[in-house]
């Protein structure tokens, strides 16, 4: 699924022995060459995931891939994009 700032890959099967929800934020060098910017996007993404954890299914893996537009986005924009992506499924 694609949002304005992130693409979401969702996998419904966890490896044996793992339970609960798992989420990851992936920010490649294509988004920004500066590590400071990539780390900021990743921290904001993780915080947005925490705020929207109630919308996540159990025993599902969510992987958020940042797009270039995320480099200049505010937290409120990232939070709303994550919320929309989690509500789409």
Q: Where are the domains of the chain?
A: 6-88
Nearest of 57, 45, 43 to residue 86 by alpha carbon: 57
Specify the pLDDT at position 77.
97
Tokens of 38: 């990539």
- pLDDT tens string 29-78: 999 999 999 999 999 999 999 999 998 888 888 999 999 999 999 999 99
User: Measured in whole angstroms, how far is the alpha carbon of residue 87 from the centre of its chain?
Assistant: 13
Specify the pLDDT at position 72.
96
Q: Does domain 6-88 have CATH number 3.40.980.10?
A: no
Specify the pLDDT at position 60.
87
Output the pTM of the full model: 0.89
Q: Which of 15 and 2 is assigned the larger pLDDT? A: 2
Sequence-separated (6 or more) residues with CB below 8 Å from residue 74: none
Residue 89 in this model has a pLDDT that exceeds 80: no
Nearest of 59, 18, 21, 63 to residue 45 by alpha carbon: 63
User: Measured in whole angstroms, how far is the alpha carbon of residue 85 from the centre of its chain?
Assistant: 9
């Amino acid at each position: 699924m694609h949002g304005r700032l992130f693409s979401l890959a969702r996998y419904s099967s966890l490896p044996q022995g793992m339970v609960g929800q798992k989420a990851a934020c992936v920010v490649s060098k294509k988004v920004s060459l500066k590590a400071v910017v990539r780390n900021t996007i990743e921290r904001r993404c993780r915080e947005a995931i925490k705020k929207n954890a109630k919308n996540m299914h159990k025993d599902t893996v969510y992987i958020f891939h940042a797009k270039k537009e995320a480099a200049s986005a505010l937290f409120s924009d990232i939070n709303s994009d994550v919320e929309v992506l989690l509500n789409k499924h």
